[in-house]
């Protein structure tokens, strides 16, 4: 038996599998002691450990579960006979036995546990230390006098095996702990190598400063090129940044701030400067609480700093007032690039609410209202207002957009000058319209005079016809009723007088001629009505909203206006295609068509042709007006849209027609193209977006 125990111990020392060896050890002891079943447990080095013992091998194997519950102190197990004996062996460290054994009254047999008739629990010692317990149950030899002396070598061998097993478990636990530490360290190294931050470790007593590879890479250095000292770092830090850096570090070291964070400039190996964001804190202190070690991270923020400088330069270059405001009206940021006097100095706004400043109440309320609406809805808000400033009454345009959950950015632009320019442009546009009306006035008067003349002549003729028919009508009334109003039968004399008067008046001719006269008069009045409507359409005032119109109808109305200028010089050919509605300012578009048609007629020498063509081109409507006039040279084409340029003799043109026409088309969201060659005529093509396009208001 001893030889078998030594062999088991050597196998365990050589690294054999522990569980099969422990099972073999228990089987060998059971066979030697003629025991039916048994167990082998380890007792931890300290009694404070939990569990108090650990079953390692049992026979039968199903007994293991009961012993584990007993080791964990599960409620009820300590009252069983097995539990009482184990407790006694642990408490005294001496052998205990009992037999025969019975289960507690009414208590069930533990699942998987053998039925015990007798039980020996023997302590397994290594010197003075209790290292285990061995249980032997249901021995076939009931003589116990020499059992301890016979088993002492086996128990000693078991103690050696348990010590070896315990050492092996500790070794494996340590190896697993070291493996986990190495794995965690490798993960930490990989994590640190993947971050963009440079790491550094400052030993205050020695003034050593160790930096990571990434920290050196930020400045372009390699291993060994930088001394691991604080002096090295102070040498690369910009001199202008050192005072503020030292102040923050001292404040943290004495405990005034929990950590320190600052941005500084560090000199790179190539001589340039990198902006570095540093964050650090004390990680170790001595017994007196003095800091001895500081660790921190450095992040290259040069690109971010450059972006900030570019954005700041861009904002400073904007000749507008820009501020950031919360929904309650508090100013957060303020930048005034207008170079004009303000009601208050810039420092009076930051951190203050607009309602608390000496500004007009209506202006403050309107600003806060728009800021709150933008923050709530997220839409761009554009509005204009007037303020009395030191330089006089000024008009401003405000554009507000949401910049955060509770803030918005507003750009304020002085549009006083722009408003004056727009008013001058409006006046110029009206002047050009009046000039066009002046040119058309004589022709329109002639156009109206013709139908008025023959309508007047027809009315005179109708008057004479009525005078001729009057005696006949009075005689008929006499036939139909007497003087007392009663009907009577006409006499032969009256009938004779009626026939003579009918023939003398030539009633048949008068009736036929009156129908023609009335039709001619209706045609004349209709022509007058059309001319008046076209004139009113041309002279109408646009409101501040675009309208949806039919360009073909607008062209027809314009043709009626200028017809007197065209009919003696050219033939007008229409080629109107089916067009969708167009969103535009109709009065302005009519003025463009008038300018183009008048120019086309004036370019024709003798008799020629004007062709008007319309068609749909993708999402645009095209209007083409071409003539067979004298055309233009390339030099003239390059200048035709220049204000006040004209090819007409002095006093016959303002030189604003085409310039204003192009501005009008651009304002209506379209474009105008021109093609011309000398002696081959000119073609102007206007492109306008179909209905649905968004156009600026006339006041913008």
- Residues near 582 by Cβ (< 8 Å), separated by ≥ 6? 548, 549, 550, 551, 621, 688, 689, 690, 691
Q: What is the mean pLDDT of the chain?
A: 79
Residue 472 pLDDT class (50, 70, 90 cuts): confident
Q: Select from 225, 237, 208 the least CA-distant residue to 295.
A: 208
More confident residue, 373 or 112: 373
pLDDT of residue 11: 65
The answer to whether 632 and 675 are in contact (CB under 8 A) is: no
Are residues 561 and 683 located together in one domain of the fold?
Answer: yes
Which of 109-113, 141-145, 290-294, 519-523 has the least mean pLDDT? 141-145
Strands of the 682-689 sheet, one edge to the other = 570-576, 608-617, 620-627, 682-689, 671-676
Q: pLDDT class for 105, splitting at 50, 70, 90?
A: very low
pLDDT classification of 107: cutoffs 50, 70, 90: very low
Q: CATH number of the domain at 141, please.
A: 3.30.450.40
The radius of gyration of the chain from alpha carbons, rounded to an integer in Å, stands at: 57
- pLDDT attached to residue 249: 93
* Integer CA distances (angstroms), 557 to 390, 397, 685, in order: 51, 38, 19
Question: 3-state SS string over 414-447?
Answer: ECHHHHHHHHHHHHHHHHHHHHHHHHHHHHHHHH
Per-residue confidence band for 653, with pLDDT thresholds at 50, 70 and 90: low
pLDDT of residue 143: 60
For the segment 32-63, what is each residue's pLDDT rounded down to a tens digit? 888 889 999 988 876 555 567 888 889 898 88
Two structure tokens written together for 167? 């050492």
Residue 107 lies in a domain: yes
Last residue of a domain, one of 105, 138, 172: 172
**Torsion over CA of 302, 307, 312 and 314, rounded to 10 degrees?**
140
Residue 215 within any structural domain of the chain: yes
Query: Which residues, at least 6 apart from 376, have a Cβ–Cβ distance to it below 8 Å?
Result: none
157-171, 293-307, 325-339, 635-649: least confidently modelled range: 635-649
| Mean pLDDT computed over 450-454 | 73
Compute the average pLDDT of residues 474-495: 65
Strand order in the sheet with 119-126: 54-59, 35-42, 129-139, 119-126, 96-98
pLDDT in tens, 581-610: 888 888 788 888 888 888 888 888 888 999
pLDDT digits (tens, 9 = 90+) for 540-590: 555 557 788 899 988 988 888 788 778 878 899 999 999 998 888 887 888
Last residue of a domain, one of 306, 341, 367: 306
Q: Give the pLDDT band (50/70/90) at residue 277.
A: very high
Looking at the fold, whether 154 and 25 belong to one and the same domain comes out as: yes
Residue 73 clears pLDDT 80, i.e. is over it: no
Degrees, nearest 5: CA angle 34-40-41 = 160
Look up residue 690 and give its DSSP letter: B
* pLDDT at residue 232, as a whole number: 92
- pLDDT average, residue stretch 319-344: 79
pTM of the model: 0.36
For residue 239, give every residue at least 6 positions away whose Cβ sits within 8 Å of its Cβ, in sequence order, or none.
Answer: none
- CB under 8 Å to 318, separation ≥6 — which residues? 337, 411
**For residue 6, what pLDDT is reported?**
66
Asked if the model's pLDDT at residue 509 lies above 70, the reply is yes
Regarding whether 591 and 669 lie in a shared domain, the answer is: yes
Q: What percent of the chain has pLDDT over 90?
A: 18
Which bin fits 392, alpha (ψ -120 to 50), beta or left (φ > 0)?
left
CATH of the domain at 679: 3.30.565.10
Domain that holds residue 456: 425-539
Whether 64 maps to a domain, the answer reads yes
Residues 582, 520: one domain?
no
* Residue 583 DSSP class: E
What pLDDT is recorded for position 346? Answer: 67
**Which of 509, 539, 569 is the last residue in one of the domains?**
539
Together in a domain, 208 and 87: no
Spatial neighbors of 271 by CB under 8 A, at least 6 apart, are none
Q: How far is it, in rounded angstroms, from Cα 140 to Cα 145?
A: 14
Confidence band (pLDDT; 50, 70, 90) for 488? Answer: low
Whether residue 138 sits in one domain with residue 116: yes
Lowest-pLDDT range of 367-381, 425-439, 444-458: 425-439
Q: What is the pLDDT of residue 18?
A: 64
Q: What is the pLDDT of residue 622?
A: 93
Higher pLDDT, 534 or 180: 180
CB 136 within 8 A of CB 95: no
Residue 311 within a domain: no
Task: Let me know if residue 329 belongs to a domain.
Answer: yes
Task: Report the alpha-carbon distance of residue 12 to residue 18 in Å, rounded.
Answer: 6
Q: 348, exposed or middle or buried, with CB in 10 Å at 0-12, 13-18, 19+? A: middle
CA pair distance 490, 499, nearest whole angstrom: 13
| CB burial of residue 626 (10 Å; 0-12, 13-18, 19+) | buried
Query: What pLDDT sits at residue 487?
Result: 57
Are 492 and 549 contained in the same domain? no
Question: What integer is the mean pLDDT of 498-511?
Answer: 75
Average of per-residue pLDDT across 266-280: 92
Task: Kindly state the average pLDDT of the residues 435-454.
Answer: 64
Q: Which long-range contacts (CB under 8 A, 24 or more apart) does 141-146 make?
A: 141/33, 141/34, 142/118, 144/97, 144/120
- CA neighbours within 13 Å on the CB side: how many for 510? 17
Residues 158 and 22 in one domain: yes
Residue 438: predicted pLDDT: 58
Q: What is the mean pLDDT of residues 625-639?
A: 88
- What average pLDDT does range 126-150 have in this prediction? 78
Report pLDDT for 683: 93
Residues 324, 302, single domain; the answer is: no
Q: Does some domain include residue 185? A: no
State the virtual CA torsion across 637, 639, 642, 643 in degrees, nearest 10: -100
Got the DSSP string for 338-407? Answer: S-S--SS-GGGTBT-BGGGSSS-HHHHHHHHHHHHHHHHH---EEEEEEEEETTEEEEEEEEEEEEETTE
Percent of the chain topping pLDDT 70: 77
Q: Is 667 left (phi over 0), alpha (psi -120 to 50) or beta?
A: alpha
* Judgement on whether residues 491 and 555 belong to the same structural domain of the protein: no
pLDDT at 328: 92
Task: Give the CATH number, domain containing residue 390.
Answer: 3.30.450.20
Specify if 698 maps to a domain. no
> Do both 349 and 223 map to the same domain?
no
Q: Are residues 395 and 507 in the same domain?
A: no
Sign of the alpha-carbon torsion through 297, 303, 307, 308: positive
Number of domains forming the structure of the chain: 5
């Amino acid at each position: 038996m001893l030889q078998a125990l030594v062999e088991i111990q050597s196998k365990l020392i050589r690294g054999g599998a522990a569980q099969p060896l422990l099972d073999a050890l228990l089987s060998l002891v059971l066979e030697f002691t003629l025991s039916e079943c048994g167990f082998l447990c380890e007792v931890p080095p300290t009694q404070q450990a939990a569990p108090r013992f650990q079953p390692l091998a049992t026979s039968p194997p199903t007994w293991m579960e009961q012993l584990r519950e007993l080791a964990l102190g599960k409620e009820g197990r300590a009252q069983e006979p097995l539990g009482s004996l184990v407790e006694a062996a642990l408490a005294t460290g001496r052998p205990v036995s009992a037999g025969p054994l019975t289960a507690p009254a009414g208590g069930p047999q533990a699942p998987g546990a053998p039925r015990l008739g007798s039980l020996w629990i023997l302590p397994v010692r290594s010197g003075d230390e209790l290292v285990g317990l061995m249980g032997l149950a249901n021995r076939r030899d009931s003589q116990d006098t020499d059992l301890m002396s016979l088993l002492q070598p086996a128990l000693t061998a078991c103690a050696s095996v348990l010590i070896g097993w315990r050492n092996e478990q500790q070794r494996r636990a340590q190896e697993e702990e070291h493996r986990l530490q190495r794995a965690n360290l490798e993960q930490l190294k990989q994590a640190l190598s993947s971050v963009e931050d440079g790491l550094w470790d400052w030993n205050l007593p020695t003034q050593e400063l160790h930096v990571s590879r990434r920290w050196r890479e930020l400045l372009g250095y390699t291993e060994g090129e930088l001394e691991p000292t604080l002096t090295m770092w102070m040498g690369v830090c910009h001199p202008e940044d050192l005072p503020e850096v030292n102040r923050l570090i001292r404040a943290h070291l004495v405990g005034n701030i929990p950590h320190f964070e600052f941005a500084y400039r560090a000199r790179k190996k190539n001589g340039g400067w990198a902006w570095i964001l540093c964050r650090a804190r004390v990680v170790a202190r001595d017994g007196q609480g003095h800091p001895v070690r500081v660790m921190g991270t450095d992040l290259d923020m040069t690109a971010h700093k450059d972006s900030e400088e570019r954005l700041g330069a861009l904002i400073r270059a904007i000749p507008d007032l820009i501020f950031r405001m919360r929904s309650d009206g508090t100013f957060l940021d303020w930048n005034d690039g207008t170079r004009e006097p303000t009601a208050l100095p810039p420092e009076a706004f930051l951190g203050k609410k607009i309602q608390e400043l000496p500004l007009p109440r209506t202006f403050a309320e309107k600003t806060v209202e728009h800021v709150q609406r933008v923050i709530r809805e997220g839409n761009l808000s554009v509005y204009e207002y007037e303020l009395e400033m030191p330089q006089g009454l000024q008009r401003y345009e405000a554009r507000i957009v949401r910049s955060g959950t509770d803030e918005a950015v507003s750009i304020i632009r002085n549009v006083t000058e722009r408003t004056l320019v727009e008013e001058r442009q409006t006046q110029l546009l009206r002047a050009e319209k009046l000039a066009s009306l002046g040119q058309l006035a004589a022709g329109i008067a002639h156009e109206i005079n013709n139908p008025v003349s023959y309508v007047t002549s027809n009315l005179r003729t109708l008057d004479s016809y009525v005078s001729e028919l009057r005696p006949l009508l009075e005689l008929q009334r006499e036939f139909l009723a007497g003087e007392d109003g009663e009907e009577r039968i006409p006499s032969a004399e009256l009938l004779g007088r009626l026939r003579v008067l009918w023939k003398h008046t030539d009633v048949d001719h008068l009736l036929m001629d009156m129908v023609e006269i009335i039709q001619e008069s209706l045609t004349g009045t209709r022509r007058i009505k059309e001319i008046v409507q076209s004139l009113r359409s041309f002279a109408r005032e646009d409101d501040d909203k675009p309208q949806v119109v039919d360009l073909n109808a607008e062209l027809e109305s314009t043709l009626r206006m200028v017809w007197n200028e065209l009919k003696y010089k050219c033939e007008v050919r229409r080629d109107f295609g089916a067009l969708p509605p167009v969103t535009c300012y109709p009065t302005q578009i009519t003025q463009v068509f008038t300018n183009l048609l008048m120019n086309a007629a004036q370019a024709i020498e003798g008799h020629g042709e004007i062709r008007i063509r319309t068609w749909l081109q993708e999402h645009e409507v095209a209007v083409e007006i071409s003539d067979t006039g004298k055309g233009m040279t390339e030099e003239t084409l390059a200048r035709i849209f220049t204000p006040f340029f004209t090819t007409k003799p002095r006093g016959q043109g303002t030189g604003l027609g085409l310039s204003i026409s192009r501005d009008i088309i651009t304002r209506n969201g379209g474009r105008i193209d021109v093609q011309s060659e000398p002696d081959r005529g000119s073609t102007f093509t206007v492109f306008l977006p179909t209905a649905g396009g968004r156009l600026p208001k006339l006041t913008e």
